[in-house]
Chains A and B, each alone.
Chain A
């Protein structure tokens, strides 16, 4: 696979696809520097929209809220998801295993709108006030299945003899977990964390239902702003977020590269 030459046609296809995918983003970024105030007339370069953005405390709070929710929900759902994946893995009965995995997958494919609406009903029945807590809970809920899905393949890939060997050598259960299993699945854990992070960052449908009491996230805010045409400070904001995600991807890249299995499957 690796050394087969790619035909010019497939290269062209690849370039075309990437252009189509990235063009709208660059279009958006380009106009965030427009002094004209609209998206179809470029008048001149300005940083005014960025200045306006940073002067708007309300928007800034919303951005920080969004980031905080993303970090916390990714972290917590990673912890829960890893435990869940290990639990599913540990079931010896194939049938139970498959059932649990399917139940997990159903949550991933079910429409966000339905998840959001049911959370709204649940929270109001349970008497939980809508706000940061409700958003955090629902984000954790829809991130957990994703983490499970990212971690489980790593666990299945791991040779069972590895664990047996550790036991034979006198390792306790905790030792096995800490020194064998967790290091082996670390790349999966990171992948799960970053997936959860991006899911939480850009989720609109679920969040829309569970925000309230002065707590909003960016996607919900932009959606209601869009009713009256988007001002260019939203372009500026999107540009910054785009850069932020690129940084995330780079960080993720370096973490996974440094964690590449060495063949033995055991790292310190």
Chain B
């Protein structure tokens, strides 16, 4: 029986967590003492949790040039699991010195007192980044909780060849997008213009940002939560209507089924972020050279807005005994031209720093049909508006998955699902004791 094994695993997890917690408590003073006395003796050793491919190669370049600060990369799986793992390790008292932190997770890390304030160490770096992206690591406070690494402005990926085949234009507004969805599905019932993914709250948050949503804001000493604001409800109702009509599919992104649909030309668009080429080239290799990008459709003709999906930063653990050295590495990694070049080449990262974005010249191989890919991406990126993330994004995101899972399966009211997200978020904050503004 599988259950027996998961029970064993659960006990193992519990005991590890326990022993980690014990040792964390007991060893804290001694490890601090050790670092103080060891600092002059040997090189500073830093551990770094990240999911960027080939980061070990980039760290090796740093290690070569900095014999006194040696960085060891520990490769992680990305997503919610990575955030949970870091929070657990921080709670247990043995986090890595450096961690890759998605922007929406940073407030949770700050709220759990798991990441350090790098204000003093990053004063120089600030000028390298745009205001929007810098706001994501300060959370609107005086502190600086991480150094931005990559950003994810959203755009519309579409199948050039199939748009021609079905005789549709690249939609400029969401109304045109809906119309195109109807046309395509009518011409071939097996083909959809797109799909609504109930598994990707970050995607939905980006679309809501485009519409002008502001899920969290700080007013005075209290949080204002507005996940069900007008903009978000509008976005949800729009997609809900299309799913109910049956002209937009309801399969989640990143499943084997979705990959197959992309590969076989059964899905014609993907409103996604600038990191899309990596996903498409590995998940839909057959369609190479057939996809192109355009700005997201707009809510009103003549507008020009986008949102962010994903993107991450490099943060330093509050418990790290070598914060200064860690901040030095984080700054180098995300602002030094050599490091940025490596991040682009080895890590397929779209850098958040202006200098880094300027280094992107040659279109991704998968988009060889669109030589000005990065120029387009940069233009779109300039129109992206984000929002301040709150301290319990993980709760909101989980509520999204559960509520929209049900709504998509039942083809029921998507606005109600947004209401559930709001209620769950507020209830969780009330339970913990956050000050909430009405």
- The answer to whether A and B assemble together is no
Name B residues whose Cβ lies closer than 8 Å to a Cβ of A. Answer: none
